[in-house]
Amino acid sequence: MRTIKTSEIVDAVANMCIKANTELPSDVRTKLEQAMAKETSDSAKEVLRQLLENADLAKSTKLPLCQDCGLAVLFVEVGDDVRIDGGNLREVINEGVRKGYADGFLRKSACDPFSRANTGDGTPAIIHFDFVPGDTLKIVYMAKGGGSENMSRCTMLAPAQGWEGIKEFVINRVAEAGPNPCPPIVVGLGIGGTFEHASIIAKKSLMRRLDDTHPDPDIAAKEKELEDAINRLGIGPMGLGGKTTALSVKMAVDPCHLASLPLAVNIQCHSQRHEEVVL
Amino acid sequence: MAEYKLNTPLTDEDMKQLVAGDVVFLSGTIYSARDAAHKKLVDLLDAGKELPFALEGAAIYYVGPSPAPPGRPIGAAGPTTSYRMDSYAPRLYSLGLKATIGKGKRNDETRQAMQDHTAVYFGATGGAGALLSNSITESTVIAFDELGPEAVRKMKVTDFPLLVINDAHGGELYAVPDRKAAGLK
């Protein structure tokens, strides 16, 4: 049994909150640069140029990339042989989020759904725990902005609708979202499981690197097929038209009930802010 | 596409010349207001009370900035998604508001209100919060401090870079998604 100090976790989470909100991941930057080389319209190029300049500026000034520093979403893999010294893991992670959002001058966007009163410190974070073999603690942080999250949907298709039904729903969803979620977007899809499971794996798929390839060649081909179809919609950067509507489509697939075909479409903005740490 | 330098307060003449796709560099005073602030503004109007700022010739920026770090007037300050303000915007346009600034599509009523009252909708680049904050030189909370990031701020801007998305003549810049090209019937 390995013991991890709570202070180590608090600091690691706080640092991830700040880094993810101020430094554009290199794979996202590369995708934006590739998009810029491909675009022919002036407005599309100008938007991408501004986004790259914004990333440079955020890194040098430590200002957040976007004023919406998101709701903190964390995926935590707890090794069976890990013991947390002196604290409840959920509370310790929330403490890290509180510290990161305060120290980094990040916007606190958590509020009561009815009164809309802001909780004032960016918590409670949305935390998903998974228990795995080993003696390490892996924490993945994501800043999930409201504008793109609002464009996400979950639906229960009939099994007969199959891949064609999935494609139709996803493409229509992206078309309806149009300029709202800050395209070029990343599309996370959860297919299978149950109503809530599809949504969680859709979100988790957004944590993959944008330039990776799904290990299952059939799923990888489906991701590519959807990415190409979405990019033919012509929504383009910020909805002003162009060839880049999605930077990537990520798909997570799990078995489901024989009566069901759950589908979750989780839309992420061009910033795709996330970080991970293994303790 | 033309390029204009405009100053607040904005006039009907300023707005009439603009066409969707034009680039505008805006200078002067603008006000921040988003979801919760809009509800409070409309509650004040319903109660017959005065608003914290004059709507005549004004521009409202849909923004909830991040906190200002030491030495800067404001934190990151990019636009938020505008459709959530569509239930309030036509009324504010009818009272003299000349421009709103945000990102994303507006509904039919809001677009019609711009035509009826010679007003426009500007787009700023979503997510470019650090970059856009460079155009904001002063920022003071003037109402609804309790709303935190959603409070109403009076902001001074210099050459704030904007794109005319909806003009006062019914024009719109956003691309219409080509579902057919994407393989749908």
Q: Are A106 and A169 part of one and the same domain? A: no
Q: Are A202 and A252 part of one and the same domain? A: yes
A184 preceded by a cis bond (ω within 30 of 0):
yes
**Alpha-carbon distance B115 to nearest alpha carbon in chain A (angstroms):** 21
| Residue A33 and residue B31 in contact, taking contact as beta carbons nearer than 8 Å | no
| Residue A118 and residue B34 in contact, taking contact as beta carbons nearer than 8 Å | no
Last residue of a domain, one of A122, A144, A166: A144
Residue A180 resides in a domain: yes
Residue A126 resides in a domain: yes
B31: closest CA among B50, B4, B53?
B53
pLDDT reported for residue A239: 97
Last residue of a domain, one of A144, A174, A205: A144
Partners of B133 on chain A (C-beta within 8 Å) are: 63
Nearest by CB to residue B76, choosing from A65, A235, A269, is: A65
- DSSP codes of every residue in A183-237: SSEEEEEEEEE-HHHHHHHHHHHTTS-TT---SSHHHHHHHHHHHHHHHTT---G
pLDDT reported for residue A79: 97
Tell me the pLDDT tens digit for each residue of B48-76. Answer: 999 999 999 999 999 999 999 999 999 99
**Alpha-carbon distance A107 to nearest alpha carbon in chain B (angstroms):** 4
pLDDT reported for residue A86: 83
Q: Are A102 and A151 part of one and the same domain? A: no
pLDDT reported for residue A229: 98
> What's the ipTM?
0.94
How many Å apart are CA A129 and CA A147, to the nearest integer? Answer: 25
State yes or no: pLDDT of B23 exceeds 90.
Answer: yes
Residue A43 resides in a domain: no
How many Å apart are CA A104 and CA A99, to the nearest integer? Answer: 8
For residue B133, name the pLDDT band (cuts at 50, 70, 90).
Answer: very high
How many Å apart are CA A224 and CA A214, to the nearest integer? Answer: 10
pLDDT reported for residue B68: 96
Residue A235 resides in a domain: yes
Residue A70 resides in a domain: yes
Q: Are A13 and A78 part of one and the same domain? A: yes
Last residue of a domain, one of A119, A144, A169: A144
Residues of chain A with pLDDT under 70: none
| Residue A19 and residue A275 in contact, taking contact as beta carbons nearer than 8 Å | yes
Q: Are A157 and A242 part of one and the same domain? A: yes
**Number of structural domains in chain A:** 2
| Residue A18 and residue A100 in contact, taking contact as beta carbons nearer than 8 Å | yes
Indicate the pairing of strand A261-268 with strand A185-193. Answer: antiparallel
State yes or no: pLDDT of B19 exceeds 90.
Answer: yes
Percent of chain B predicted with pLDDT > 90: 99
Q: Are A169 and A263 part of one and the same domain? A: yes
- Which three-class secondary structure state does DSSP give residue A98? helix
Residue A38 resides in a domain: no
Q: Is B170 on the interface with A (CB under 8 A)?
A: no
Partners of B125 on chain A (C-beta within 8 Å) are: 47, 50-51, 54, 238
Cα pseudo-dihedral A91, A95, A98, A101, rounded to 10: -120
Q: Which residue has the tokens 């100053």?
A: B7
- Which three-class secondary structure state does DSSP give residue A22? helix
Distance of CA B60 to the CA centre of its chain: 4
| Residue B33 and residue B71 in contact, taking contact as beta carbons nearer than 8 Å | no
Q: Are A152 and A139 part of one and the same domain? A: no
State yes or no: pLDDT of B1 exceeds 90.
Answer: no
Q: Are A115 and A246 part of one and the same domain? A: no
B77: closest CA among B127, B30, B148?
B127
8 Å CB contact of A147 and B148: no
| 0.90 surpassed by pTM | yes
Nearest residue on chain A to B164, judged by CA atoms?
A: A240
Residue A30 resides in a domain: no
Burial of A183 (C-beta count, 10 Å sphere; 0-12/13-18/19+): buried
Domain that holds residue A9: 2-20+65-144
Q: Are A180 and A212 part of one and the same domain? A: yes
Q: Are A9 and A139 part of one and the same domain? A: yes
Residue A276 resides in a domain: no
Active-site annotation holds for B38: yes
Q: Quote the DSSP letter at residue B59.
A: E
Indicate the pairing of strand A126-132 with strand A2-5. Answer: unpaired
Q: Which residue in B34, B38, B98, B117 is the catalytic one? A: B38
Residues linked to residue B25 through DSSP beta bridges, in sequence order = B5, B161
Q: Are A206 and A242 part of one and the same domain? A: yes
The end-to-end CA distance of chain B, in Å, is 34
- Which three-class secondary structure state does DSSP give residue B43? helix
8 Å CB contact of B183 and A120: no
Q: Are A153 and A259 part of one and the same domain? A: yes
